[in-house]
Amino acid sequence: MSTDDKNRAVAAAILPLVGGAGNITSVAHCMTRLRLGLRDRSLVRDEELKALPAVMGVVEDDTYQIVLGPGTVARVTPEFEALVAEAPAAPAATPSADDLAAQGAAIRAARKARNQTPFKLFLRRIANVFVPLIPALIGCGIIAGLNGLLINLGWLPAVTPALAAIASGFMALIAVFVGFNTAKEFGGTPILGGAVAAIVVFPGVAKVDAFGQTLSPGQGGVLGALGAAVLAVYVEKWCRRWVPESLDVLVTPTLTVLVSGLVTIFGLMFVAGEVSNAIGEFADWLLVHAGAGAGFVLGGLFLPLVMLGLHQALIPIHTTLIEQQGHTVLLPILAMAGAGQVGAAMAVYLRLPRNGSIRRTIKSALPAGFLGVGEPLIYGVSLPLGRPFVTACVGGAFGGGFVGLFSMLGTKVGSTAIGPSGWALFPLLDGDKGLGRTIAVYAGGLLTGYLAGFVATYFWGFGARLLEEFDVDTDTGPETAVAASAGTTPPPGPAPEPKPAKL
């Protein structure tokens, strides 16, 4: 079967299990997940969906999210969209209109109470601005790392300037892309947001004085671009309400760029520049003076932040640090949370020798876990079990403390891009003490996270009640179980299909 056929087969297997094309209201994807908007959540057959070989797990948020893994999701999503578009437009079958209304109201109320607080919605919008930039950050970051290696080795001197231009071009104009995405996300005209944000990186701002200081191109960085584009959206919306339609095409874009541009030059660039500098200085101070403690706290709390949706607040901070220093020193520490999950999963595998379902889940999810894709282990293993999720966080804390300790000792470990984690972060590592030492510290942090997560989970992750409930033979069919309890031989017949454990 060709790759295209395989991806279409995965999409075709998923579609009926989420209620069919008539139950789909939106289709999107991020780095690892297929995100679906659903008309009726009750039509989704969760257990059958999780049993599909290509599905690593499911997550419920403002959308129904199916974890397929990096690379796979980008190929399956277009096939899924095509199948939805090809299906006849018909409403999904439901028991009755009253049942549908009641189910929909309950689901919406629960989801709203859980996820749609104003603060979380704001963070989600900010994340939506930066997430589309991640592929370019990764690609340019890897090229920058390769270029640095070639320069250090003295190889291909005629090629390294070209690689430097390729790696740096996107970062030089990242403010424009941030402005474009911001205007799009907040309901404005994207190109106007990009036009206003372009002022931040225009070389001519070096001739402008604001607050007694001469501005410098790029001052304020992505935060300035974000603020400028948000302001442009509000100016544009005001113009749309008050400018006559006959003049709208001329007046609205002119006023939007002019007003937002003046405020950006004489206010936002200076303020955002001070905030950006404060972020960089605080990150450096924190790791130099309290690296071990800060790493322990950040590595231990990152997964709970992810569960609450608060990790999205870190995305603009990472981007600001990359823009300022060439790398973010926070991401390698936060990546240790995934190492704790891997160690915890290996301990669960050994502690539940009779639970074939959980052990199969762990074996299939561990390769992705080593590469930094933690959702299958989190949602399929540690979180449903409860205490192992906590001990996994302990493993992440020790790994983060290890990396933070070396920052205190003078060896900073950074990442030139955001998105990857685990072993996938090795090509993006950067530091101030040479690549070899940087890799060694990061690898030591991973090993510490694996070991601490394993030990904490093996010895303290299970109580007697949890072992009694989950250390059972999940591959035994119901007739066999009843016969065994009665001391008789079960009747002959075909072997029952193994059922996944209900976690």
- Please count the CA atoms within 13 angstroms of the CA of 446 that sit on its side-chain side: 21
Average pLDDT, the chain: 84
Take residue 279 and report the two structure tokens written for it: 């972020």
Hey, is 218 helix, strand or coil? coil
CB of 407 closer than 8 Å to CB of 291: yes
Structure-token match 């129904």, residue found:
64
Rounded distance, CA 202 to CA 173, Å? 9
- State the amino acid at position 48 in one-letter form: E
What number is the average pLDDT over the span 171-198? 94
The answer on pLDDT for 476 being more than 70 is no
pLDDT tens by residue, 341-384: 999 999 999 999 988 888 888 888 898 889 887 877 887 788 88
In the chain, the N- to C-terminal Cα span, in Å, equals 34
What number is the average pLDDT over the span 88-102? 45
Which of 25-34, 444-453, 475-484, 488-497 is most confident? 444-453
Q: Which pLDDT band holds residue 272 (cuts at 50, 70, 90)?
A: very high
**Residue 498 gets which letter from DSSP?**
P
| Sequence-separated (6 or more) residues with CB below 8 Å from residue 502 | 47
Percentage of the chain beyond pLDDT 70 is: 87
pLDDT of residue 475: 60
Q: Which pLDDT band holds residue 417 (cuts at 50, 70, 90)?
A: confident
Structure-token match 């020798």, residue found:
353
Percentage of the chain beyond pLDDT 90 is: 44
Rounded distance, CA 490 to CA 97, Å? 46
Name the packing angle between helices 314-325 and 174-185 (round to 10°): 160
Around Cβ 237, how many Cβ atoms within 10 Å? 15
Rounded distance, CA 55 to CA 52, Å? 5
What number is the average pLDDT over the span 378-392? 87
Give the CA radius of gyration of the chain: 26
The answer on pLDDT for 492 being more than 60 is no
The answer on pLDDT for 110 being more than 70 is no
Q: What is the pTM of this model?
A: 0.72
Around Cβ 436, how many Cβ atoms within 10 Å? 9
CB of 198 closer than 8 Å to CB of 176: yes
The answer on pLDDT for 443 being more than 80 is yes
Q: Which helix (H) or strand (E) holds 76?
A: helix 72-86
The answer on pLDDT for 485 being more than 60 is no
Catalytic positions: 30
- State the amino acid at position 75 in one-letter form: R
Rounded distance, CA 251 to CA 248, Å? 5
413-415 and 429-431 beta bridge pairing: antiparallel
The answer on pLDDT for 93 being more than 50 is no
Q: Which residues pair with 430 in a beta bridge?
A: 414
Q: Which helix (H) or strand (E) holds 456?
A: helix 435-460
Q: Which helix (H) or strand (E) holds 194?
A: helix 190-201
pLDDT tens by residue, 236-245: 999 989 998 8
Rounded distance, CA 393 to CA 459, Å? 15
pLDDT of residue 464: 86
Rounded distance, CA 450 to CA 366, Å? 12
